[in-house]
Amino acid sequence: MITDAQTFKNFIAGEWVNAASGETFESVSPADGETIGIFPKSSAEDVDRAVAAAKTAFEDWRLVPAPKRGEILFRFARLVEEHKDDLTDLMTHEMGKVKAEAGGDVQEAIDMSYYMAGEGRRLWGQTTPSELKDKFNMSMRMPIGVVGVITPWNFPIAIPSWKIAPALVCGNTVVFKPATDTPLLGERFVELLAEAGVPAGVVNIVHGGGGAVGDRLVRHPDVPVITLTGSRETGVEVMRNAADHLKHIHLELGGKNAIIVLDDADLDLAVDGIVWSAFGTTGQRCTAASRVIVQEGVYDVLASKLVAAAEKLRLGVGWEDDTDVGPVINRTALEKIDSYTKIGVDEGAKLLTGGEVATGNGLDKGHYYRPTIFGDVDAQMRIAQEEIFGPTTALIKVRDFDEAVRVSNGIRYGLSSSIFTRDVHKAFRAMRDLRAGITYVNAGTIGAEVHLPFGGTKDTGNGHREAGQAALDVFTEWKSIYVDYSGKLQKAQIDTAE
């Protein structure tokens, strides 16, 4: 339990320092209003100092052998393992996740760090035969420079690891801006990196808002790479503001994910998958299932089972073992979620359960919303098209498989998708035809493994991926090498035919 509100600092060039302005902000628990800590409210001046430190550190860090960089990440992963219980407890307070999910968030950072540490002994390029005699060809990955890392509050340990671990093993340096709702978790992440042996200036953390800190990172001429997880609107703004410097921009944005349930599905399994996907992390995941597309033959039965399951979920603080659903992150989020309930009712959807701010039993101290299910939803309603980012899902009735796929694809996003069916033919058609970066068969829409690419299509991002080998493409540039050992000038791509 966090009891004393401590004051924390930025970490720049290996030193803990206050914001240049001396201004601060508080991190407050969404679960009970407790003050977690006081943090520097930084400005462009602080970003400039951090970028200068990272730029200087890059010249030495890029020359550290990649296996040695990987060894530091191995030590970091072990440290996170040692501190897993404390980080989990902190996350239940600062972010609001229930204990099991908070532990999973931390474990994902452990897994990602071990995986990327291993890349220090791979970072594969290619060798190819040359078209000329006595000539050797190969390609290799090169680090780019300073990476601006901007992360959200919903995975405050896992997502930084998705970005920072591959950036470091590839030889880049980092300026990290964590979300203002979860700054202490970001702080602890960097403290453990420093303890693991990351040299001064290689990783820097600057606390503060997106308008001051994030925007300066995006516009800074000495930050060639920006990796952001956030909303579509923020992503568009980042691309626009970075355009003058032709930066490498990696965006992981929104989702409006659907679970398809066909007539032949195992309905009890489907209900389990829907409840986990719609209400896990209180619906505050980019992969959350905010649509359930149900074939008409099982619609009524599934709706009944789903409502019953949702109404059994216990709301409460995340650090209590019997809590199923924790708070949403802040008052603004709570009001947005409630506004979508009103939109759904006004559009003519049928409110089956939930749809209200939860009060009583101590819930008034935090930001809680009852798990909400709409029925009789038309696929073009706003609640079926727009990302709500809360514990709300919409049931959409369809006639057959083909209509289900059309409805699933009929949105601007393309992150995660799911189908419950016993028909192997339809399962494989779904794998092919669902326009999303992730497709699950007989499982929900959430959950990922660190050795496969994570990301989406359409407005979910700009074509890059996190995790797996694909993540390395964000943080490296390819360089082609030609070694001519013939001892004479050989002109490539010259027509020598007589």
| Dist CA 86 CA 296 (whole Å) | 47
Token reading at 210: 């997106």
Q: What is the DSSP string of 343-360?
A: HHHHHT-EEEE--SB--S
Cα 228 to chain center, whole Å?
A: 9
Q: Which helix (H) or strand (E) holds 280?
A: none
| Dist CA 123 CA 471 (whole Å) | 11
Residue 212 CB partners (closer than 8 Å, separation 6+)? 41, 42, 43, 44
Strands (E), 296-421: 350-353, 372-375, 392-398, 413-414, 416-420
**Catalytic residue at 59?**
no
Do the Cβ atoms of 126 and 473 come closer than 8 Å? no
Instruction: Work out the burial of residue 116: count CB atoms within 10 Å of its CB; fewer than 13 is exposed, 13-18 middle, 19 or more buried.
Output: buried
252, 387, 477, 498: which is the annotated catalytic residue? 252
94, 286, 387, 466: which is the annotated catalytic residue? 286
| Dist CA 105 CA 146 (whole Å) | 26
Do the Cβ atoms of 337 and 393 come closer than 8 Å? no
Residue 233 CB partners (closer than 8 Å, separation 6+)? none
Q: Which helix (H) or strand (E) holds 23?
A: none
**Catalytic residue at 498?**
no
Token reading at 473: 């493409």
Token reading at 193: 């990196």
Please list the alpha-helical segments (H only) found in 66-204.
66-82, 84-94, 99-119, 158-169, 183-196
Residues taking part in catalysis: 252, 286
